[in-house]
């Protein structure tokens, strides 16, 4: 594989150097008692949170520092720094700016996130589309301010500058220069013995392993929603719901992102903890879109979604099982689609590297007959690229996917994952698809069920409490159907640094 460095324009290489150097003073910051990896690409049972909502606001400060390397910066609670003994890192005076000497609330917290990822993809869409082999730098800078007015009310704002330096073909998820990322008002209080939370404004949602509803952290531009959110929690139950218009991204001028009533996504979800940390959940969602174009239908889409999930662990075993059905109409045709995902594993804690042996099995329906009155192609909604791999070669559309995984931790801050993925189509009547639901040309109604085989290796390392890095490589051996469509084998390599303050 040949890697070209034309993407390092004058402002890109210095930013990488500055990112590495500025992180050094934070290396003395305190580590948590359990140095769990703050990874995004490697998801274990501990990372399967129900959604991106923060815990209930405590009545007294919790004497721990949140990690600034998490996926959802707005869930952090820095009121612990009301204790001067915990202000041990540089610039802690800006992480917690109090407005009262007697009450840890109200306060203001400022933050910064920088992610730099150098990517090489020698065959996007297996070389069948207009995008050709390319090497580029995905550059993303986010700054935020979190204002807690008291123990109940807070406001959060985050700005983002995302650039794809040297990328020859840009998409809406690649670049978004100087725009509003998040802006919401939140209320937390006690209602009927439980904790009630409500948010209004531009915000993020992420469920479970983010198979279908995610923050979309894999690409350069994340997904947000202009929404009204509410949830109520009384252990072991939690009920939440929201009505939203997903944010639409464009890069014509600064602050030009928008949402429209022509695309709406609404959800009602119920969760229950069982057997300690194990959980079951179910939700109903409604996706409404105008002007949708599918291989077998075009027009307005009203897609009703029903999802159930069980996740947990028992001794050394862990599991995450999810199934989704979709019904409704699209362009005058009826929708009948489905998908499932499972990730199970076994951890050997007695061995030094604590190996985790896992198996991931996924499936999603395709359209079985072109031109009839039924659309069988599954809509992956708002998928997470990390769930399969960063090469964007797999997605939850017309797929059957089997992936054995091995994860080891040779050092407390290092995680190494190796996997082999085998991919088939559910039906040859529908196409092979890439992220998010883009059909590979000339594969619909042609070829065989077998799509291809890929190997994946990923390393995640946490250098300090504020700096993490990752390397991911994917080598996809395309099957005959892709080759007959004009495609070929594909290789991806990504090297990433993530800084959080």
3-state secondary structure string, 177-192? Answer: EEEEEEEEEEEEEEEC
Which residues are bridge partners to 104 per DSSP?
A: none
| DSSP helix/strand/coil, 59 | coil
When pLDDT is cut at 50, 70 and 90, the band that residue 132 belongs to is confident
Q: With bands split at pLDDT 50, 70 and 90, how would you rate the model's confidence at 278?
A: very high
Place of tokens 């009630």: 196
Render pLDDT for 85-98 as a digit per residue (tens, 0 to 9). 899 898 999 999 99
Look at residues 39, 8, 43 and name the one whose alpha carbon lies nearest to residue 500: 39
Q: Please name every residue paired with 116 in a beta bridge, in sequence order, or none if there are none.
A: 139, 497
Q: What is the pLDDT of residue 10?
A: 38
Surface-to-core class of residue 465, CB atoms within 10 Å of its CB (0-12 exposed, 13-18 middle, 19+ buried): buried
pLDDT band per the 50, 70, 90 thresholds, residue 267: very high
> Which pLDDT belongs to residue 152?
97
Token pair for 82:
């009301």
47: pLDDT strictly greater than 70: no
Question: What pLDDT was estimated at residue 41?
Answer: 52
Is 90 exceeded by the pLDDT of residue 191?
A: yes
Phi/psi region, residue 173 (left: phi>0; alpha: psi -120 to 50; beta: rest), is alpha
The span from the CA of 499 to the CA of 141, in Å, is 10
pTM value is 0.87
Distance, CA of 191 to CA of 180 (rounded, Å):
32
CB atoms near residue 196 (< 10 Å) = 16
Of the pLDDT bands very low, low, confident and very high (cuts 50, 70, 90), residue 382 is very high
Residue 106 — pLDDT band, cuts 50, 70, 90?
very high
Average pLDDT over residues 297-320: 97
pLDDT of residue 350: 94
Say if residues 341 and 380 touch (Cβ distance below 8 Å): no
pLDDT band at 486 (very low <50, low <70, confident <90, very high): very high
**pLDDT over 70 (residue 422):** yes
Would you say residue 442 has pLDDT above 70? yes
Rounded Cα gap, residues 149 and 108, in angstroms = 8
User: Is it true that the peptide bond before 106 is cis, omega within 30 degrees of 0?
Assistant: yes
User: Pick the residue with more confidence: 403 or 9?
Assistant: 403
What per-residue confidence (pLDDT) applies to 63? 57
Backbone angles phi, psi at 48, to 5 degrees: -85, 65
The three-point CA angle 51-53-58 to 5° equals 135
Structure confidence at residue 115 (pLDDT)? 98
Is a pLDDT exceeding 90 seen at residue 370?
yes
Percent of the chain at pLDDT above 70? 87
Give me the DSSP letters along 405-421. Answer: EEEEEEETTEEEEEEEE
Mean pLDDT of the 195-222 span: 96
Q: Which domains does the chain have, with CATH numbers?
A: 12-500 (2.40.160.100)
**Would you state the pLDDT for residue 42?**
53
> Which pLDDT band, with edges at 50, 70 and 90, does 101 fall under?
confident
User: For residues 219 and 216, what is the distance between their CA atoms, to the nearest angstrom?
Assistant: 7
Q: Which of 36-40, 78-82, 466-470 has the lowest mean pLDDT?
A: 36-40
How many angstroms separate the CA atoms of 465 and 463, rounded? 7
Tokens 């009262």 correspond to: 100
The whole-number average pLDDT for the span 431-449 is: 96
Structure tokens at 246: 């997903």
Does pLDDT of 297 surpass 80? yes
- Region 53-76: mean pLDDT is 70
For residue 81, the SS3 value is helix
Q: Which residues contact 351 (CB under 8 A, 6 or more apart)?
A: none
In angstroms, the Cα distances linking 235 to 193, 194, 269, 271 are 10, 8, 15, 10
Mean pLDDT for the chain overall: 89
């Amino acid at each position: 594989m040949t890697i070209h460095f034309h993407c390092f324009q004058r402002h890109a290489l210095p930013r990488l150097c500055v990112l590495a150097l500025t992180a050094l003073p934070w290396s003395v910051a305190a580590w948590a008692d359990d140095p769990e990896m703050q990874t995004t690409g490697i998801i274990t049972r501990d990372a399967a949170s129900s959604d991106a909502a923060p815990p209930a606001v405590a009545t007294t400060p919790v004497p721990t520092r949140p990690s600034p390397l998490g996926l959802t910066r707005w869930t952090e609670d820095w009121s612990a720094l009301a204790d001067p003994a915990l202000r041990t890192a540089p610039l802690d005076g800006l992480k917690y700016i109090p407005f009262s000497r007697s009450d840890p609330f109200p306060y203001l917290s400022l933050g910064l996130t920088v992610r730099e990822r150098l990517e090489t993809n020698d065959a996007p869409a297996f070389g069948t589309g207009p995008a050709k082999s390319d090497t580029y730098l995905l550059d993303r800078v986010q700054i935020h301010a979190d204002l807690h007015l008291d123990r109940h009310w807070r406001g959060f704002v985050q700005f983002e500058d995302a650039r794809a330096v040297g990328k020859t073909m840009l998409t809406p998820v690649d670049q978004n220069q100087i725009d509003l990322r998040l802006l919401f008002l939140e209320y937390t209080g006690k209602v009927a013995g439980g904790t009630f939370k409500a948010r209004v404004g531009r915000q993020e949602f992420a469920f479970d392993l983010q198979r279908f509803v995610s923050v979309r952290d894999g690409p350069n531009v994340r997904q947000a929603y202009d929404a009204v959110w509410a949830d109520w929690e009384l252990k072991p139950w939690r009920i939440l719901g929201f009505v939203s218009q997903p944010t639409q991204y464009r890069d014509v001028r600064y602050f030009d992102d928008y949402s429209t009533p022509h695309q709406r996504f609404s959800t009602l979800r119920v969760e229950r903890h069982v057997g300690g940390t194990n959980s079951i959940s179910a939700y109903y969602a409604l996706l409404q879109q105008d002007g949708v174009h599918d291989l077998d239908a075009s027009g307005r889409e009203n897609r009703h979604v029903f999802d159930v999930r069980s996740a947990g662990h028992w001794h050394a075993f862990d599991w995450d099982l999810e199934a989704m059905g979709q019904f409704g109409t699209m362009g005058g045709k009826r929708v009948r689609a489905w998908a499932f995902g499972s990730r199970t594993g076994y951890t050997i804690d007695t061995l030094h590297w604590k190996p985790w042996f896992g198996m991931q099995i996924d499936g999603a329906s395709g359209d079985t007959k072109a031109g009839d009155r039924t659309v069988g192609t599954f809509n992956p909604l708002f998928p997470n690229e990390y769930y399969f791999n960063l090469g964007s070669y797999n997605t939850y559309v017309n797929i059957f996917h089997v992936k054995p995984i091995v994860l080891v931790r040779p050092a407390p801050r290092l995680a190494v994952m190796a996997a082999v993925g085998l991919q088939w189509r559910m039906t040859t009547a529908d196409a092979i698809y890439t992220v998010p639901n883009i059909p590979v040309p000339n594969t619909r109604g042609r070829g065989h069920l077998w799509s291809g085989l890929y190997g994946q290796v990923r390393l995640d390392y946490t250098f300090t409490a504020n700096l993490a890095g990752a390397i991911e490589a994917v080598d996809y051996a395309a099957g005959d159907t892709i080759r007959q469509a004009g495609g070929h084998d594909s290789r991806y390599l990504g090297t990433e640094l993530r800084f959080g303050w």
